[in-house]
Chain A
Amino acid sequence: MASESVKSQYTVTIGIECHVQLKTKTKLFSGADNDAREAAPNTLVNHIDFGLPGALPVLNGEAVPLAAKAAFALGTKPQKFSKFDRKHYFYPDLPMGYQITQFDEPIILGGEVTFDVNGEIKHVGITRAHLEADAGKSTHPAGRDYSLVDLNRAGTPLLEIVSEPDMHSAAEAKGYAKELYLRMKYAGVSDANLYYGNMRFDVNVSVSKTDEWGTRTETKNLNSFRSVEKAVEYEVNRQIDELEKGNEIIQETRGWDDTLLQTFSQRTKEDAHDYRYFPDPDIPPVVLTDEQIAEFETSMAKLPNDYREILLSVGLEKAVIEDIIAVPNTAMTVGRVYELAGGSHAKRVAFWLLQPQSDDSEDITEEGQRVSDENLVKLSQMVEDNKLSSTAAKEVLADLLKTNDDPEKIAESKNLLQVSDEGAIAEIVSQVLVDNPKAAEDVKNGEMKAIGFLTGQVMKLSQGKANPALAQQLIKKQLGL
């Protein structure tokens, strides 16, 4: 492999195409169910998906609003006019012999995504994003003389987001992929479940020693942030090695082996099709009015950057913020608590719900979070009012997350409520002062360190229920300070 000093002579250029599966109930042009996750092959297929004679595609009414949301999430607006085109090629998983896509007038043109890479703000331009119908799935069983086609996925709505070649390192590529994922998820455009292939990335990589771009390769179908990062790293090293050996880079499509962490050649440019694009006469163009566009904008959910601002304003650190942002449900809950009860509650709830993210974590399962915002605020308020110690609050929270019962009742049933009854605590304090005469003497002599010890003893004797502030107050009082 080329040395770091050789590598540093090259400029790396990366552009990414990302296919996002839209969160629609039915397919892009048919009424068949769009959720193919656990379905038996070819069970979610109607006459349109099967390409029967006379079958006409009809645009799903949910698709354009979702694409419009995506436009705002990408920092732009949807186009007022866009249309669908046919892209022709023969393959058994493409029943009509053409894919319906948007060729020269896509629903999204322009846009920008910003994100943080190692503390610096990175800007990546969006070239365009277009709606298209996915093809079916082909499998080729080893050693058999047949292939299998499953059309459940045929017609699934995709938004293909094409970036400008604005990235220059694997870390930036990964950062972009992650930010795109977060934005699509927050905007409600996609379930963005990477495990089920809801987002797939194609990375275009080239290296060059001059001002001109080198020949690029496209590594297709990456379905995790890690594979985006590793594939870029691998391609950069491979291309530099080839060039250093005096070889040329071939413009080609490459695949990714996630076990070997290597890219491999799939097909070269000579195999390129002439897709014979032309406007699909079965589907009228999509025309949006200014009013419709404004409505879409008003209905936008908060985006990751909105939550980052809130979390920053309540005094959380960047690393913590990103861990919270990585779990949209948590960020949204914290955001709602912020609006409901303000910054101090939001901050406390944020720490409660925080799940530290490993470098690769993605796609946290978020089902089962049944706790209401009101109960979280109530629990936080109990801490604020000294009714619960922070340790006890965590114990209550564990139950609360499972049951969403009244936190006060949970605390009571677990006998965790702090004692703020002066008389009761005063008794314990007297006992502690009797048991620890030396410490008491130290405090009297101005060694305030010892007061912490005495408070700790009060807490211990009260089984953690005494209000520590009150306990300290009473210690001082009884010692005549």
Chain B
Amino acid sequence: MAWDSIATIAAKVNAGEVKAVDLVEQSLRTIAEKSSFNAIIATTEDRAKERASQIDAAIAAGESVGRLAGVPFIAKDNFLVFGGETTAASNILRGFEAPYQSTAINRLEAEGAICVAKANLDAFAHGSSTENSDFFTTKNPHDETRVPGGSSGGSAASVVLDLAPFALGTDTGGSIRLPASFTGCVGYKPTYGLVSRSGVVAMASSTDVIGPITTSVEDAAIVLDVISGKDELDSTTIEKDAQGYVVDAPGSLKGKKVGVIKEYMGEGLNPAVKENIVKAIEAMKAAGAEVSEVSLPSLPLALAVYYIVCPAEVSSNLSRYDGQRYGYTKQDAADLNDSYIGSRELGFGKEAKRRIMIGTYVLSSGYYDAYYRKAQTVRTKLINEFAAAFEQYDVLVGPTAPDIAFKIGENAEDPLQMYLTDIMTVAVNLVGVPAISIPAGTIQDMPVGFQIIGKQRSDRELLAIAAQTEAIL
């Protein structure tokens, strides 16, 4: 059974028309019914039910509970959440129970939302398909032989499977937008720093962002409004927009300047996908947008830059998983080195090891200048090119991914092919701008995602334009 919009659910709960315990029950029942899709690693059933009862009691007592009263949600399993384990879908964190909660979860709970389950992901968010999960691969809700995209594949599948009204994901190189595109829902990647990373297992700190995965732009906006803003536990956070992100009347596309990214529309793009994207662009034009093509010449370098910067930070961020304080520890180690090597050898999967090796290499003395420093130089160039484009355009658009969801196993043995899946999403992360993927029709019943990119801190305007576009697609 499909869910009402988040605002409607919360209004009904606050009015006493619907009980939070029933919503949690509905969510848990659906999770059980649809367990074959492997979207969920574990539920947080006990705590969810307890919180639901408390919320119902509070409402019965006439208290106001908040803007997300009783709304169940699912968190990607790299969010530290009370009431169960936090594994990041990795063997090395199996059994780890968080002693503190992420800021995003705390803020959702403060408005009455209830976390019911933890969603599957590529271990440590390394991947584009959930096939790198140390637990299992999540299946695409539209075709069980296909991947849901990644790394937030479990979160996106959860939303499409109606397991909960919304899910949280993380997007380091496209990990919210890609699965949204592959499963046919809305994935929002905020401006870097808009949502606190505190309490979220780090992947690449300079590009990691946290965002909502929902069935509508409206729902994405309300979740963003709750979780965004400065946090003293994360010094890279920024203030939220003074007007917030909930847009009552999204306005019109009339006169909006839309740049179609030339580099995303050419070689490598499935012609059928291109057709859907062109249709979406035509619809925007028909609604009054001023559309023209824009070129960002350094874009073809973005993937190479990303796969230097990201593994460099990954190799550093994964250093703390050393088997000494928590998580998996090799038993009967001969000495300290054996304990380190054994714990990491068995605790990390192939992709984590691959990224640790690449990252260690590019940061090594003698290679730093050739790789890491050069990559950062190109990154600055990209930032400048995006800034120049945004002097002329309100938003930039293109496909979210070059193709529809691929078959499970199709890219599993070819990491480079897998990395190419991110080719249209990584630049946004390197530059730190906000972007959204919204559904733009299907090809052979498989969803296509349309990507809209805004300038730094223009999240409010971007969401309004996305809502307008969503309405006409």
Contact = CB atoms under 8 A, between A and B. Distances in A.
B319 A56 contact: no
A59 B234 CA distance: 10
Given A54-B202, A58-B233, A284-B236, A92 B316 contact: no
| Leading 9 A-B pairs by shortest Cβ distance | A97-B319, A281-B206, A276-B363, A281-B205, A54-B199, A51-B320, A53-B201, A96-B320, A58-B235
A97 B322 contact: yes
B292 interface: no
A51 B325 contact: yes
A352 interface: no
Contact of A52 (B197, B205, B326): B326
- Among B100, B236, B316, the one with the most A-chain Cβ atoms within 10 Å of its Cβ is B316
A278 interface: yes
- Among A47, A54, A55, A57, the one with the most B-chain Cβ atoms within 10 Å of its Cβ is A54
A55 to B, nearest CB: 8
Nearest to B344: A90
A282 interface: yes
A357 to B, nearest CB: 44
Which size class do B's interface residues fall under? Answer: 35 or more
A98 B313 CA distance: 12
B200 interface: yes
A10 interface: no
Interface string A424-455: 00000000000000000000000000000000
A115 interface: no
A238 interface: no
A86 interface: yes
A283 interface: yes
Interface string B71-115: 000000000100000101000010010111010000000000000
Contacts of B324: 92
Interface string B359-377: 0100111001000100000
A122 interface: no
Contacts of B216: none
A57 B235 CA distance: 8
Interface in B185-231: 197-202, 204-206
A90 B340 contact: yes
Majority secondary structure of chain A interface residues (helix, strand, loop or mixed): loop
Interface of A: 47, 50-59, 86, 88, 90, 92, 95-98, 147, 274, 276-278, 281-284
Contacts of B236: 281-282, 284
B364 A88 contact: no
Given A54-B197, A281-B206, A98 B316 contact: yes
B312 interface: yes
Given A92-B336, A278-B368, A50 B316 contact: no
Given A47-B99, A274-B365, A282-B236, A97 B320 contact: yes
Given A55-B199, A92-B336, 6 more contacts: A52-B98, A53-B88, A54-B201, A278-B312, A281-B206, A284-B235
A276 B363 CA distance: 5
B235 A56 contact: yes
A58 B234 contact: yes
B198 A90 contact: no
B80 A53 contact: yes
B248 interface: no
A59 B235 CA distance: 8
Contact of B197 (A47, A56, A276, A284): A56
Nearest to A90: B340
Interface of B: 80, 86, 88, 93, 96, 98-100, 102, 197-202, 204-206, 232-236, 312-313, 315-316, 318-320, 322, 324-326, 336, 340, 360, 363-365, 368, 372
A278 B202 CA distance: 16
Contacts of B200: 54
Contacts of A88: 316, 319, 363
Contact of B316 (A54, A57, A97): A97
Nearest to A280: B205
A281 to B, nearest CB: 4
A54 B336 contact: no
Nearest to B237: A56
Given A52-B326, A90-B322, A281 B313 contact: yes
12 contacts: A50-B325, A52-B98, A52-B326, A53-B93, A53-B98, A58-B233, A96-B319, A97-B320, A276-B360, A277-B363, A281-B313, A282-B234
- Among B80, B100, B197, B319, the one with the most A-chain Cβ atoms within 10 Å of its Cβ is B319
B173 to A, nearest CB: 14
A301 B320 CA distance: 41
- Among A50, A147, A282, the one with the most B-chain Cβ atoms within 10 Å of its Cβ is A282
B284 to A, nearest CB: 35
A274 B363 CA distance: 9
A284 B238 CA distance: 12
Contacts of A47: 99-100
B96 A53 contact: yes
Nearest to B234: A56
A277 B360 CA distance: 10
A272 to B, nearest CB: 10
B86 A53 contact: yes
Contacts of B319: 88, 90, 96-98
A282 B205 contact: yes
A47 B202 CA distance: 14
Contact of A54 (B102, B206, B325, B360): B102
A86 B206 CA distance: 14
Contacts of B364: 274, 276
B338 to A, nearest CB: 12
B223 to A, nearest CB: 19
A95 B320 contact: yes
Given A54-B80, A56-B235, A95 B99 contact: no
B76 to A, nearest CB: 12
B198 A56 contact: yes
B100 A53 contact: no
B118 to A, nearest CB: 13
Contacts of A59: 235
A96 B317 CA distance: 8
Nearest to B235: A58
Nearest to A276: B363
Contacts of A90: 319, 322, 340
